[in-house]
Amino acid sequence: MPDTITSEKKLKKIEQQDNLDEVLYQFVRLYDRWSLEQQLTGKREAEMLKSIESFNETLEQLDALHVKIQNTIKISVREAANAVSLQIESDTGKYFRREVQKFIPTLDSSIHYANDVLQSYKNTLRSKDQNIFDYMIIAIFLGGILIGGMGLFAIRRYW
């Protein structure tokens, strides 16, 4: 029996040793796997950092490009606005000239009519002024005759 106990103990020890060896083997495998994952994670982290740096550089380039595009758009908008403004100015000028040309004959006839009316009015005023002057001369002449006639009458009476 002691032999069986020792052999059982030996078997247990061997089983325990086998179990420990198996646990150790599992641990080593797990450690290898973990180590490999750490390496892969480090590589992925390095790749991700490179990607992030590349992305940041791309963003900076896009920011610079954004500013250039804004400036180009501003210049284009100004040029287009100036071109449209000049075209509108030209078109409205042509339109107004055409419309004014339509009224020029009417305006010319109105101006001639106004000149004729003014000339007639001036002539009427001159004739009235002349008539007033004529009446004044006649009145002075008649007044002189009347005064002279009264003077003669007075002289005759007293003489």
More confident residue, 56 or 110: 56
Q: How far apart are CA 86 and CA 80, in angstroms?
A: 10
Average pLDDT over residues 55-76: 89
| CA distances to 56, 72, 76, 93, 152 from 60, in Å | 6, 18, 24, 49, 125
Q: How far apart are CA 126 and CA 132, in angstroms?
A: 10
Other beta carbons less than 10 A from residue 23's beta carbon: 10
For the question of whether the overall pTM of this predicted structure is more than 0.85, the answer is: no
pLDDT of residue 63: 84
Number of helical H runs and strand E runs in the chain: 1, 0
pLDDT digits (tens, 9 = 90+) for 130-140: 777 777 888 88
pLDDT digits (tens, 9 = 90+) for 1-13: 556 667 777 777 7
